[in-house]
């Protein structure tokens, strides 16, 4: 590919997409900002190419207007074609580019775009939940309990850029620090065998934590979803509130362990569908203290690491735009 053809003027339009199992979000990326965000149902379109055409039609852009596109895809992204796990779409890279007339198509893992977003989000799109000092030139950690538990890191590059390092940090062993942790961990092991962090720190994990807490306490559990557990906690249900607090404390332990593993003294960014939804309650939780209440070495190491919650409306789309911007700059 001729890199000269990929260079764009600062005002040029690029395309960003964030595609999950149910919905595809698309936007235009112009001057480092998102424009014209639209959400389309994946089930309504036979192919992703059809959804892109419909999106451009809705926002009044001809197919020729967008030559460079980044799509955040739910699942592991390799060098070949991408088959979505939870919908019928397949992206054949060569065919997709040819049909839509693209000069450049970048596919990235959907959680990686959260890391790209963290490299650029403005102050009003972040809420600091733990004070500290982010060290220049050190890695940043991104962690997000949602459908699963996403974990990734941002590594600084010479010249001011960033490299995203995706990983499978949601599947590390769940840390156990007390008798109640151990009682719940034993029940999780009986059910699943290996007890990963994601068995608690996710939507289904919060449901696990509620049901097994009830079992430990000899209480008959209600058939509650993760959203309902959180809503009942906010409405004054003391038991659901205690479960949500336990969730936040476990998140503190897992996040702190990850910081020590990658040396992420540049700070922690929390995203995903759970913590931002219950942000006010999270701010009142014991997360900040539990994050660094550890041994004589690990506690001081973590004591000055700041933590933010990402509150941007479309962080996946924003991160896709940033990822494309940096990729085009690197290849210029």
User: Is 299 labelled a binding residue?
Assistant: no
Task: Tell me the C-alpha distance between 92 and 50, whole Å.
Answer: 13
| Contact between residue 261 and residue 172 where contact means Cβ atoms under 8 Å apart | no
Shared domain check, 179 and 140: yes
Answer whether residue 115 is part of any domain: no
Answer whether residue 116 is part of any domain: no
pTM surpassing 0.75? Answer: yes
DSSP designation for 125:
G
Answer whether residue 137 is part of any domain: yes
Rounded to a whole number of angstroms, the distance between the first and last alpha carbons of the chain is 11
Shared domain check, 159 and 68: no
Answer whether residue 80 is part of any domain: yes
Quote the domain boundaries for residue 49.
3-109+314-331
Q: What is the mean pLDDT of residues 151-165?
A: 88
| Contact between residue 319 and residue 112 where contact means Cβ atoms under 8 Å apart | yes
User: Is 170 labelled a binding residue?
Assistant: no
Whether the per-residue pLDDT at 7 is higher than 60: the answer is no
Give the sign of the dihedral formed by CA 27, CA 151, CA 165, CA 290. Answer: positive
Tens digit of each residue's pLDDT (9 = 90 or more) over 122-152: 788 999 999 999 999 999 999 999 888 999 9
Number of structural domains (the chain) is 2
Give the CATH number, domain containing residue 253.
3.40.367.20
**pLDDT computed for residue 3 by the predictor:** 31
Pairing of strands 268-270, 307-310: parallel
Answer whether residue 117 is part of any domain: no
Shared domain check, 304 and 319: no
User: Is 142 labelled a binding residue?
Assistant: no
Shared domain check, 165 and 277: yes
- Please give the torsion angle defined by the CA atoms of residues 142, 144, 149 and 150, in that order, rounded to the nearest 10 degrees: -40
| Contact between residue 203 and residue 209 where contact means Cβ atoms under 8 Å apart | no
User: Is 17 labelled a binding residue?
Assistant: yes
**pLDDT computed for residue 248 by the predictor:** 98
Answer whether residue 160 is part of any domain: yes
Shared domain check, 156 and 8: no
Tens digit of each residue's pLDDT (9 = 90 or more) over 85-97: 778 899 999 999 9
Answer whether residue 322 is part of any domain: yes
Tens digit of each residue's pLDDT (9 = 90 or more) over 71-119: 998 777 888 888 887 788 999 999 999 999 999 999 998 888 999 999 8
DSSP designation for 130:
E
Q: Which helix (H) or strand (E) holds 290?
A: helix 287-292
Task: Tell me the C-alpha distance between 128 and 66, whole Å.
Answer: 36
User: Is 18 labelled a binding residue?
Assistant: yes
Give the CATH number, domain containing residue 318.
3.30.420.40
Shared domain check, 196 and 60: no
**pLDDT computed for residue 10 by the predictor:** 41
Share of residues in the chain with pLDDT > 90 (%)? 74
User: Is 219 labelled a binding residue?
Assistant: no
Tens digit of each residue's pLDDT (9 = 90 or more) over 274-303: 999 999 999 999 999 999 988 887 889 999
Tens digit of each residue's pLDDT (9 = 90 or more) over 207-242: 999 999 999 999 999 999 999 999 999 999 999 999
């Amino acid at each position: 590919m001729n890199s000269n053809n990929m260079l764009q003027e600062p005002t040029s339009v690029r395309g960003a997409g964030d595609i999950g199992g149910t919905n595809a979000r698309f936007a235009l990326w112009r001057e480092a900002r998102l424009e014209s965000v639209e959400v389309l149902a994946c089930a309504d379109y036979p192919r992703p190419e059809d959804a892109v055409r419909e999106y451009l039609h809705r926002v009044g852009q001809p197919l020729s207007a967008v030559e460079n596109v980044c799509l955040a895809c739910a699942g592991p992204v390799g060098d070949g074609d991408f088959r979505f796990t939870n919908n019928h779409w397949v992206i054949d890279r060569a065919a997709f580019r040819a049909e839509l007339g693209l000069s450049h198509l970048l596919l990235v893992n959907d959680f990686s775009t959260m890391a790209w977003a963290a490299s650029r989000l403005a102050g009003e799109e972040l809420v600091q939940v733990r004070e500290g000092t982010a060290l220049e030139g050190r890695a940043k950690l991104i962690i997000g309990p949602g459908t699963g538990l996403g974990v990734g890191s941002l590594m600084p590059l010479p010249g001011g850029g960033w490299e995203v390092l995706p990983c499978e940090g949601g599947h590390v062993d769940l840390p156990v620090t007390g008798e109640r942790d151990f009682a719940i961990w034993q029940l999780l092991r009986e059910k699943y065998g290996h007890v990963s962090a994601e068995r608690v720190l996710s939507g289904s994990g919060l449901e696990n934590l509620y049901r097994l807490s009830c079992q430990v306490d000899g209480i008959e559990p209600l058939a509650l979803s993760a959203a309902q557990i959180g809503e009942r906690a906010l409405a004054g249900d003391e038991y659901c509130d205690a479960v949500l607090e336990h969730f936040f404390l476990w998140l503190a332990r897992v996040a702190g362990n990850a910081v020590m593993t990658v040396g992420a003294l540049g700070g922690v960014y929390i995203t995903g569908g759970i913590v931002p939804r219950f942000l006010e309650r999270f701010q009142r939780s014991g997360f900040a203290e539990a994050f660094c209440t550890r041994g004589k070495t690990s506690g001081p190491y973590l004591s000055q690491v700041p933590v933010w919650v990402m509150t941007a409306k479309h962080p996946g789309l924003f991160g896709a735009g940033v990822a494309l911007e940096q990729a085009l700059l690197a290849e210029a």
